[in-house]
Every structure is written in structure tokens, then in C-alpha cells.
Structure 1
Amino acid sequence: MKSKWITSILSTTLIWVLGVLSFFLISDWVPAQLHIESSILTEIDASKEDKEEKSVKEIIHQTQKSVVMIEVERTGSVGSGFIYNNQGDIITNAHVVAGTDEVKVKLADTREYDGTVIGMSTDTDIALIRVPDIKDIEPLPLAKDYPPELGDEVLAIGSPLGYQNTVTTGIISGVDRSFEIDHYQYENAYQFSAPIAPGNSGGPLILIKSGKVIGINSAATEVGTIGFSIPIIDILPLVTSWSETPMTSLPSMEYSVNEDQIASSIENIATYLVQYFYDSIDQQDYVNAYSLLGSSWQLNTSYEQFREGYLNTGSVIIDDIYTRTEGETVTVFTIIHAEERQDKEVITEKYQVEYKVGYENDQLKLISGTGEIIE
């Protein structure tokens, strides 16, 4: 009887000891594990990250909204630029705006605004234009800490020969290039293989894997496909100082008729506007596409009706496009292929579409459009 009593006490004591030890073990071990990432959550995050990675088409479409064409009436020159902050400031090349302090700025949707040059360098081929009316447009993201490497894929966006928002692709084919053109010093420039032409000057060089601006396209060789871009990280302190304290007087610079002086015709702009419309539909950016319509079209078609009409439309490919001009109105004829979802399957239809493009409050708009299926 006594031995049973002793055994009972020992068992109870052992249970208490094990309980106390377990308590301290768990209280020490569990918090230590809280910082360890769950493999399930890591896989979910990685999957989410993959889904959020933008396609090249998406990067192009979003970037184009913040890239502008710059026209200098005094010299007849055409160049490019891009919005870099929320004050409506546009980075471009100094040689694009040399000899003037007022320019015309044309957005991707062909809206035009007056811009004022608020900064210009005589050594570095960089200038800054301010257009307060566009400060609500999202600026392009800038690569402030990532130096591109040889072989990195890039996009060059601008208005070569007056063809607005043209996109070319290539790779970084050289780094740390230094040279002089006229009186401008180019230091540590990126060399790239994306084709550029007169009118590209001032446009952004986009790193595809990040979708960010790494440079300002500024020069190209006459032979071969070699372009040069000024690193964005090198000129940010300069343009930031101009943005915070605009120059009260610009340096006196000589200007002459140069290779960037290519005027864009109304036919080119009308063709571009229709292409940009289809690009917006292709990216399901219905708000942007609707904004390209004239007021009479919008009056007869609400945004909800417009959007509903394209909800089942997939990719749109332009097979052919040509124009006919009558006064200030341009008729743009297109042949397109469009993927359409019908009864849970995707079919491809071929259309012939005709658009009337004309000026409305000094802005070029899609006035009307009619189309029919081609059997």
C-alpha cells in the first residue's frame, strides 16, 4: 500500500516536471519559428509576383501615355520627351529645344499643349520643359539604382520622322561610352541596338525587365544600328534642381535646320490615332480608347455602352491601313482581324472599318466610325 502511494507521488511529480519543461520548450521554440517564412506562403507570393509581371505589350502601352512629341515652331524641328514628375515636367534633349523657350507638346492621344523650357544645359544634352496642364498624367518610373548590363533587352520610344510613339526593340550593346557631339559632352552613355531616327531625340530608353527608364535617347550613328542614351541617374540632380528652381533666363544657343526637323502630316497623325485606338482596345484600356472619340460620338454612345461593345473582343491586328484627305478631315480605312469570344469559344472575324478623323477644339479626334464583316 505504501509502495503504491510512493509510486503515485513519483508519477505525479514526473508529470509536473515534464509539463513545466514542455511549457518552457514551447515558449522558447514557437517564437523562434515565427520569423521563418512558410514555404506555402513563399510559393503563393512567388506565383503572385509572376502574375503581376507585365508583358512587353503592357509596358509599351503604359509607357506611351507618358511619352510626348515635341514640336518647335521657330525651327520646325521635331523631337521626343517623357513626363518625369507630377508637375508636368518633361525631360528631353537640349538640342531638341535649342534656340527657343516655347514649344508645342503632343500627347499619345494627340492632345496638344504649350510648354515652357525651364532648364537647359550647354554642356550636357539635357533640357526640361514644363506643361502644367498635364501634371495629372502619371510620370514614367525611373531606374535610379540599377545599371543595365550587356545583353539587357530595351525599348526605345519616340517620334522618329514625325511618326509619334514609335517603338523599337534591341539590347544594351555597350556601356560607358564617352564622346562629344557639337559642344555637348556625352559621358558614360549606354550604347544600344534598337533602331532610332531623327525625332527620337529626348525619348526614353526602357529596360524591359523592370519597365523603368534607364536613359534619354540622344544620338545615333549614320552607319549601322547603334544608338546612344544618356543615363537617367546621371542627370537627375540637374533636372531636379531645374524643377525646384526654374531658370529665369536660358543660355543663348545657336540653332540651325538639323536632322530632327521633320514635320508630321495630318495623315500620319490620323493613322497613328487609329492605331493607338486599337492598341488601347487590345490592352482592354477602354477608358483611354473612349477618350479618343469626338464629342458627338460620345454623346450618342455612353462609356458603359462603348465598353460593353468590346468586352468580348480579344486581340486586334491591323492587316492594312490607308488614308484619304478632304480638307481638314481624314478618312482612315483599316482591315483588321479581331478575336471574339462567342458561346465559350474564341473565333476570329475580319472587318473593314472606316473612321472619320478631324479636329475638335484644336484636338484631333475620331469623329465617327463604321465597319462591316468581310466574309
Structure 2
Amino acid sequence: MNKAALVSITATILLFLAAGTGFYFLYTHYENLTVQASSTLGRELSLEEQGEIDANPDLKSIIHETQKSVVQIEVTTSDGKNVGSGFLYNEKGDVITNAHVVSGASEVTVKTSDAKQFSGQVIGKGETDDVALVRVPDLAGQEPLAITKERLAETGDEVIALGSPLGLQNTVTTGIISGTDREFTLDPYRYEGVYQISAPITNGNSGGPLIDQHTGEAVAINSAGTDSGAIGFSIPLPNVLDKIENWASEGTEVKSEEPEVEEDTTEEDSSTRGLTGEDFENSASYLIGYFYESLDTRDYLTAYSLLGSRWQSEMGYENFREGYLHTLGVRVTNLTGKLSEDRESVLVTGTVEAEERTDDKKTVTSLYSVNYEVAYENDQLKILHGKAKRLK
């Protein structure tokens, strides 16, 4: 079984911790407050710029916002379980993916960027076109991904491929459109007029969106790649939108011709919600990584939404946000999860290097060890509490 794994977080320029000493504030005043991550990809922002995200989003912001509409798709077939990707098409909860991702599916589960899991049904699947539509009722009302409906991409356009290659959820690769109007056959699917891209597509990446780096719109469906992984191929969305819209309008479940698969209940219990211990650990570590990424892009609302209800009742959103305004950058490493003996929660630990601006406008760098408890609350993973210990 493919598993969602810990995302390697390298993000930039967080605007955290309100009172002067950043993580020192966390360390001395809020034992349970979480910390955050960054990378060296961005520039340092002035205090005047430490407000809301700019009207013209940068690449990092585009990636983060896009990930909210990208899902990992796990499919159960008579041969076992497979992992692919997809993205939200409309407010009905319909998810675009590849036909080969859901072929023979007796059960479809989607996992969102904030580690929530929902069941889905295939309501449309191409016979020769490698495109499919999965309806996920629990995603109804969510904001779909912006897509290009008419304009075709051109050679040289800069793009971002998102998906879950090898089960690594919400992995991002960048590249360009290196060719157009490519044609080939991978039985039973015929690919016509597809884009050739320099961003690699591997197992699990199929079905995810190809994003225009400058507009943030989905321009194609990542669908196939070479054995070497150096070249990928993506189906232009304008070529298949009529078919997708017909499926969305009809909304009829496509019954699998595969035999029913008897559910495997090995290692399943109410605490892990059917996950193996390793899956639970990986999902918890992923959630902490996504929390860091949300803070990194100043998406404080999403970060706050990942906290458990008790933590939120003890600290309102405004206090949470104001607690992060003077940290300039953070690098997090070594995130690992360990399942508790009672299998009720996972302890996620890591190391954080924080660059902070003090009250006298000096910049200091500190190192912290951090740990978080992650568990299910109302059937969804939440961060129950966390601690930071200053190392130097």
C-alpha cells in the first residue's frame, strides 16, 4: 500500500511572534504554542510588508493556495490499493483525475491537504480518454481550483506539477512546457494534443493539476511520464472540459466491473480510523508539515484551523496570529512521528532554527526542539498541543 509521507518543508519568511523575542516568547509564555518553518527561497520582508498576502501572489503563495484544492486519491481494487492525485473542479465536490487512477475501483478515498479523509464515487470515466471525475459529497461547497477553459499553453510556459508521487502527498515540481501536440497510445488510452513537460510525473502523481506559474490556474491534468522520470505528459483541460462538465451535470455513479473487495481490518481500530500505525505516524507528521507551510505563507487562518478545539478555546485566532509577527524565518528539520502505546495519538518531534527580530530591531538566530501531539477529533486529525525547548 502506498502511504502518505512526511512532506519535506522548505518554506520562506514567516511573520510570527508579536512581542520582540519570537520563539523566546513562545518558550517562556506559551508552553503549548506551536512554531513554524521557512527556507532561503524568499526575501526578508520589511515590517511594513508584514501584513496580508500581496494582491499579486508569489510562487510560494500560488503553490500553497493550489494545494488546498489538490487531493490524494487512494483506490481499492481486486489487486490491492493504488495511490493517485486529483483536484477540485466545482462546488459540488467533483474531483478531476485520470481514468487509469480509478480504473477497477471498488472503493475511493480522498485525502485533503489538511489530512482530512473522505469517501468518493466515480461518476465519469473515459474509455479512451485518460480522464475521470470523482464526486466527494463532503467537499461540496469548497472553493474549487481555478482552471483555464479555453487558452492552450505554449512551449516555454513555466508550470508547476502537483500531486502525490510514490504516495508523498502534495509534492511540487516545477518546469516548462517543452512541447505541444504530442500523440501516443498507452492501451486502452489514446493521448492526443497533450503537453510535454520538463516536470517529472511518476506513480501517484497522475491526476494532479499542471499549474501556470504566473496565473495560478490549472492548465492540464498530469497523466504520464517516461521510465526515466525526466519527461512528463499532461492533458490540456480545454480538450476534455466538455466531457467533464457532462459527467458533473449527470452525476451518476460509474459501477466497477471488478469483483467486490473484502475489507481488510488488520490493525484497524477506532483510534487510528483504519490506518496502520505507520500510516498514522506519517499522516501526523504530514499535518505538522502543513501547519508550518500555512504559517510560512501567512495563511494563519488555515494554520489555526489545524489546532484542536481545546487549544482554540484557550487561545483565540487574533492572539494566535499576533503571536507570529516578528519571526523572520524558520527552518524545520527531522520531523518524525511515534505512535502512542494506546494508539490514540502520535507524538511528532523535530528541530527548528528560528531567525527573529528583537524589539531593538536586531536579528537573532535560535535553535529549538519541538514536539506536538496529534490525534483524531471528530474523525479528523488535529494538533492537540505542542511544546518548544530552547537548545541555544
How does the TM-score come out when normalised to structure 1? Answer: 0.79
Instruction: Give the CA deviation at 1:120.
Output: 1.0
SS in 2 for 1:76: strand
Question: Which has more radius of gyration?
Answer: 1
2: CA distance, partners of 1:251 / 1:73? 11
User: Aligned AA for 2:224?
Assistant: A
Instruction: Give the CA deviation at 1:101.
Output: 5.7
Correspondence for 1:65: 68
Instruction: Give the CA deviation at 1:267.
Output: 2.6
- Of the candidates 345, 355, 358, which is equivalent to residue 339 of structure 1? 355
1: CA distance, partners of 2:216 / 2:113? 18
Correspondence for 1:230: 235
Instruction: Give the CA deviation at 1:53.
Output: 2.3
- Of the candidates 176, 185, 193, which is equivalent to residue 188 of structure 1? 193
Correspondence for 1:372: 389
- Of the candidates 351, 367, 371, which is equivalent to residue 354 of structure 1? 371
1:218 matched to 2:232: no
User: Aligned AA for 2:210?
Assistant: L
2: CA distance, partners of 1:133 / 1:205? 24
- Equivalent runs, 1:1-375 vs 2, <5 Å: 52-74=55-77, 75-100=80-105, 102-247=107-252, 249-250=254-255, 252=257, 265-326=279-340, 327-343=343-359, 344-375=361-392
Instruction: Give the CA deviation at 1:241.
Output: 0.6
SS in 1 for 2:173: strand
2: CA distance, partners of 1:366 / 1:248? 35
Larger RCO, structures 1/2 (Cα 8 Å, 6+ apart): 2
Instruction: Give the CA deviation at 1:109.
Output: 0.4
Instruction: Give the CA deviation at 1:251.
Output: 6.8
2: CA distance, partners of 1:92 / 1:251? 16
User: Aligned AA for 1:314?
Assistant: L
SS in 2 for 1:268: helix
Give 1 or 2: higher helix fraction.
Answer: 1
Instruction: Give the CA deviation at 1:176.
Output: 1.1
User: Aligned AA for 1:156?
Assistant: A
SS in 2 for 1:265: helix
Report how many residues are paired.
319
Q: Aligned Cα RMSD in Å?
A: 2.2
2: CA distance, partners of 1:345 / 1:137? 42
Instruction: Give the CA deviation at 1:372.
Output: 1.9
2: CA distance, partners of 1:314 / 1:128? 42
Unaligned 5+ residue runs, structure 1?
A: 1-50, 257-262
SS in 2 for 1:350: strand
Instruction: Give the CA deviation at 1:287.
Output: 0.8
2: CA distance, partners of 1:228 / 1:269? 29
SS in 1 for 2:240: helix
Instruction: Give the CA deviation at 1:315.
Output: 3.1
SS in 2 for 1:63: helix
Aligned 8 A contact 1:98 1:253 in 2: no
